[in-house]
Structure 1
Amino acid sequence: MQQRFAQADGSISSASVALPYSWSEGYEHDLIQRIRVIANFMVQGEDLRAAANLANGASSDVSRHNWTAIAEAFEKHKREHGAGINSNTWASKYAPVVTRMIELMSGQGAPMNGPNLLEAAVRQWDLGSRSRQIATQNGAAFLRYAVERHGVSSRTWEPPHSLANVVGRRAPTREQFALSNAQVIRLVEGLQVIGSEEASRWAFAVQLCAEYGLRPTELFHLRFKGEQLWCMYCKKSGGGTTKPRRLLAAPLLDMGGAPTDWRLEQRLQAGEPLPQVVDPSLAGDRMGRFLRRQAIWQELSAEAQQLGEELVPYSLRHRYSATCHRNNVPPKFIAEAMGHSLETHLRRYARFVSHGAAAAAFNAAFGGVITEGELKK
């Protein structure tokens, strides 16, 4: 491998290093991987020889350390220190990415530094998804643990300072679709006709999300206070942490204009089962994966696409917001019922605010005759 330099007098000088591989097809993958590691060190300011030596150290680091033993120690550390995670948390949030990292480290052409290892390990999750974000954070924690507790080279195996590029961003999406009453009813009936236990549970989940405006993860945080149904989920965001809230129904109307009688609260009190989800924080992903396989969801998705919009699990929650706005519920109260701030609500759901409703509110307040056209002037 050779590096050339242009000198001030116009001449060319060079430096070269020999790589420890035969020039044959069998070593192609390893050779390319080593060149990438050397190039990474050179980007950080090292010359060719220094970068090659560091890459040699990274290669020996892979074989010198027992990464499986480090992973076992990391699990023990996570269980017994700090907040102390439980078996389900380890199995759902840590084990998938750590196991993948160990597989990569023990296979042919193992990554030779922390950033490359982390990027390769999280490739199985969609860019920008919550699942990929969690995997990236926990994979980085494993690398930091290896550096701090097991003598692994920090220069080689420290994860990148910023994880944003590893997590990535989803491709730009269309406006998310708000399902109509009739479409929600079709969805529920389409799931129920499948006849499986799993489909019945998801039909129940769909009904709850549509009528109460729930986030999918909130399905697993429902409690009764006396006769009132509450959601105890507290969402953390840049605007602070939301509080538990009483759930207020926005009933769906059937084709005849009568409220559907799904008896949701009675069914919850009777213990009707919800879908089986190991990690409630990933319930949205789990719901999406199930629904996208169903013919009725594909049919509704095509209808959304005709309007240039995208059907997602949150389309059930969007239905709740749109319905409340159409029935002139003040935005402040809709935001409170949905468990977010008024600012967040107006930023997300301004498209559902009716100008006609604004005119009616002003007329009611001031007794004048204000037309919708006058408000737009």
Structure 2
Amino acid sequence: MPRPSVWVTVLRAGLSHSLSQEGCRSGITVNEKRGKARVNISEALGNGRRRQVPLSIDWAPENVDAIREATLAIYRGLVAGQPVEVAIEAVAGEPEAGISNAGPINWPALIEAFRERKLGSGEIKPTTWTNIYARRMKVILAAVDRAETPVQLLEAIAAPWASQPGCRGRQLQVQQTAAILRWGVDTGRLPAEWAPPLDLSPYVGRKREAAAVTTPLAVGEILALVETIPDSKWRYAFQLLSAYGLRPEELQHLELRGGRLWCTYSKVSSRGRTEPRPLRLLPCDRWAAEWNLEANYQADRLPPMKPGLGADAMGLYMRRRELWTELRQRYEAEGEKLVLYSCRHAYAHRAHTLCTMLPTKFVAAAMGHSLETHLAAYSRWIGDDEVDAAFERAAQRMEQLETA
């Protein structure tokens, strides 16, 4: 039997995920029959009789969402106690699985379908939707009553940021609004006239000033901050961030495996999903080795933090520290920016400027991201002095090889 196409695999995986969220683990599947989609219902769901429901939807990759929504509609009808024939009739034979562009747009249903698509495809995690997408979807729902066109909607979305052109929050809100409009049109959930404009720059705006550059903390600053943190749990958390170059969220995903400290955090991005990794101190960081963080690790030594909100909790705590505030003000005066990620940036900076024998790809692996991400994020800190020093070391190495 030939292997299914990639889009078919995505369809079935997404459908299985959506069904499992509604309590259905088996008993309903989809396949192709004479170029159309067909829903297969097991005896358990079909009141003792297997059913095969032909849909009027073409079995094609552009109809992944329509097929999934039609199947879910049938299942929901069955769960609601409708007779099998009624649940099937509500969907089967209707163009585009009951999706219609006539009448008012059901925006909450559109957003819910968008959420299921994002989660079902594995593109994002549920926590990402909750922490990042959900609040921006609420903004869209609050603005749709004032908009009759995509341009009006984008203008309403951008209005609260009128005094902050180009800011990151405004950019993300506009981009996610355009994304759901584009997806809605592509899947037939919205009329074609709701397609967003290709150029979003007028709605995002342009920053009047250059953004402050997030810079790495110096070792002396790290050690001074550790000395001024009075709470032992928060001090331990800050030491872990600084010694291993962790993302703040990763503090809640640490465990000991065979005597080694591991990070089990999985970050999903366009470049894929990160894998669990053992944590490593840089060879140049003797000060970090003296802390014995790995040997003394215990989860209860860390402060309590809500899942997904570790960075917020620690950021709030650090902003209440006098030395942290002084450093932030000094950084800002120099056109730079101090944030928790400055600890992670400092790890990368030390790796490239002090531990020059470490290949970049290994530093990226130790930090838990791809080489492409690493180069994009940290190459801007490689100045002319570092480049000159690297070339000088290479020349010295060549001379040693030639005279050996």
Question: TM-score by structure 1 length?
Answer: 0.57
Counterparts of 1:49-88 in structure 2, within 5 Å, are: 65=104, 70-72=107-109, 74-75=111-112, 78-79=115-116, 82-83=120-121, 88=127
The yes-or-no answer on 1:178 pairing with 2:216 is yes
Among 110, 131, 135, which residue is 1:96 paired with?
135
Q: Which amino acid aligns with 2:358?
A: P
* Aligned residues of 1:98 and 1:142 also touching (Cα < 8 A): no
Q: CA deviation at 1:211?
A: 1.0
Which residue in 1 is equivalent to 2:345? 318
User: Once the 2 structures are TM-superposed, how far is the Cα of residue 350 of structure 1 from its aligned partner?
Assistant: 1.5
Alignment deviations for residues 283-309 of structure 1 (CA, whole Å, 9 cap, x no partner): 767765664565332201233345553
Give the aligned partner of residue 34 of structure 1.
none
Choose which of 274, 280, 294 in structure 2 pairs with 1:265.
Answer: 294
Distance 2:152 2:295 in 1: 52
Question: How much does 1:261 deviate?
Answer: 4.2
User: What are the superposed Cα offsets for residues 128-175 of structure 1, whole Å, 9 maximum, x if unpaired?
Assistant: 6665555444433544576678976542x4333355654556652344
Distance verdict in 2 for CA 1:300–1:139, change over 3 Å: same
Q: Secondary structure at the match of 2:261?
A: strand
- Residue 358 of structure 2 is aligned to residue 330 of structure 1: yes
1:264 aligned partner, one-letter code: L
Distance in 2 separating the partners of 1:272 and 1:220 = 12
* CA–CA separation in structure 1 for the residues paired with 2:251 and 2:169: 19
Which of the numbers 132, 153, 160 marks the counterpart of 2:197? 160
What amino acid sits opposite 2:326 in the alignment?
E
Higher mean C-alpha displacement, 125-134 vs 336-345: 125-134
* Residues 209 and 215, structure 1, Cα contact 8 Å, conserved in 2: yes
Task: Report the residue type matching 1:100 in the other structure.
Answer: V
Q: Is the 8 A contact 1:231 1:245 kept in 2?
A: yes
In structure 1, the residue matched to 2:26 is none
Mapped partners of 1:265, 1:321: distance in 2 = 20
Give the CA deviation at 1:200. Answer: 4.7
Two-structure CA RMSD over aligned residues (Å): 4.5
Structure 2 unpaired stretches of 5+: 1-102
2:386 is equivalent to residue 353 of structure 1:
yes
Aligned runs of 1:73-222 on 2, under 5 Å? Answer: 74-75=111-112, 78-79=115-116, 82-83=120-121, 88-106=127-145, 110-121=146-157, 132=170, 134-143=172-181, 153-155=191-193, 157-163=194-200, 166-167=203-204, 171-190=209-228, 192-193=229-230, 200-201=233-234, 203-222=235-254
User: Equivalent residue for 2:281?
Assistant: 249
| Larger mean Cα displacement after TM superposition, 325-334 or 359-368 | 359-368
* Structure 2: distance between partners of 1:96 and 1:187: 34
Asked if the contact 1:234–1:242 (Cα under 8 Å) also holds between the matched residues in 2, the reply is yes
Counting matched residue pairs gives 288
Tell me if structure 2 keeps the 8 A contact 1:231–1:247.
Answer: yes
The TM-score, its normalising length taken from structure 2, stands at 0.54
- Structure 1: distance between partners of 2:314 and 2:276: 23
Query: CA-to-partner distance for each residue in 1:12-42, whole Å, 9 max, x for gaps?
Result: xxxxxxxxxxxxxxxxxxxxxxxxxxxxxxx
Residues 254 and 261 of structure 2 are in contact (CA less than 8 Å); yes or no, is this contact kept in structure 1?
Answer: yes
Name the SS of the counterpart of 1:300 in structure 2: helix
Q: Partner residue of 2:399?
A: 366
